Chain A
């Protein structure tokens, strides 16, 4: 069965632009979570979507937003990009539950570089 896919894999943007990243979960998974990974801050939870509703949100500014579609695919948007947004953005999917109850399956990530 296909794993979690993320597109694009690499992206270069300039400050002030906005970007949209896409995540397709494993078939049948209804929960999608997003994470930011940087050398300075490590891995940080952005938000989780379940059945098209945001269920949990980490401590990130409102420039970071997301949505989930009826087929469970999810997009993450970052507006007004800053240099500090350069990171590996990871998406993970799980069957139904919150992080505690179900194993999360991670995609390979999207490497965003902001110039």
Chain B
């Protein structure tokens, strides 16, 4: 079985300050983990993915995430927020060796203040 919990439904930051979006997962096997972003009225876009290679994963637009097995976490960070980062972010887990059916977190809405 697999599950994913995004610990914050909303995160509010000021432009230029760091971003931290938290994600914890549960998986019976080795997980693959993803972060997707959804801008209003648009489809989801892949930010980055972890598939058992390097634990620190760099993605697009300056985002990165660190896979921590001991903490079952995959938090998304960015050093400096930009107004265009305001969107909904989803953490996704898939259990490799399982059914390859993705489980999505409930999403975190990132609000960026000028």
Report A's interface with B, CB cutoff 8 A: 3-4, 42-45, 56-58, 90, 92, 98-101, 103-109
Taking A92-B44, A104-B46 as contacts, is the C-beta distance between A56 and B107 under 8 angstroms?
no
Shortest distance from the beta carbon of A39 to any chain B beta carbon, whole Å: 10
Bound complex: CA of A4 vs CA of B107, how far in Å? 22
Q: Which residues of A contact B42 (CB under 8 A)?
A: 108
Contact of A45 among B43, B46, B101 (CB under 8 A): B101
The answer to whether A100 and B99 have CB atoms under 8 Å apart is no
The answer to whether A42 and B107 have CB atoms under 8 Å apart is yes
The answer to whether B104 and A43 have CB atoms under 8 Å apart is yes
Q: Is the interface of A mostly helix, strand, loop or mixed?
A: loop
- For the A-B complex with A45-B103, A56-B99, A106-B45 known, give 13 more contacts whose Cβ atoms are closer than 8 Å: A3-B43, A4-B43, A43-B104, A44-B104, A56-B101, A92-B43, A92-B44, A99-B32, A100-B96, A103-B46, A104-B46, A106-B43, A108-B42
B72 sits at the interface (CB 8 A) = no
Chain B count of residues within 8 A CB distance of the other chain: 21
The answer to whether A90 and B104 have CB atoms under 8 Å apart is no
Shortest distance from the beta carbon of A89 to any chain B beta carbon, whole Å: 11
Shortest distance from the beta carbon of A42 to any chain B beta carbon, whole Å: 5
Q: What string of 1s and 0s marks CB contacts (under 8 Å) between B85-101 and chain A? A: 00000100010100111
Q: Is the interface of B mostly helix, strand, loop or mixed?
A: loop
**Quick one: closest A residue to B90, CB to CB?**
A43
The answer to whether B100 and A99 have CB atoms under 8 Å apart is yes
Contact of A100 among B41, B45, B51, B104 (CB under 8 A): B51
**Quick one: closest B residue to A98, CB to CB?**
B100
B62 sits at the interface (CB 8 A) = no
Shortest distance from the beta carbon of B72 to any chain A beta carbon, whole Å: 18
Q: What string of 1s and 0s marks CB contacts (under 8 Å) between B73-114 and chain A? A: 000000000000000001000101001111111110000000
Q: Which residues of A contact B41 (CB under 8 A)?
A: 108
Bound complex: CA of A58 vs CA of B103, how far in Å? 10
Q: What string of 1s and 0s marks CB contacts (under 8 Å) between B39-70 and chain A? A: 00111111001010000000000000000000
Contact of A56 among B90, B100, B103, B104 (CB under 8 A): B100
Bound complex: CA of A71 vs CA of B4, how far in Å? 35
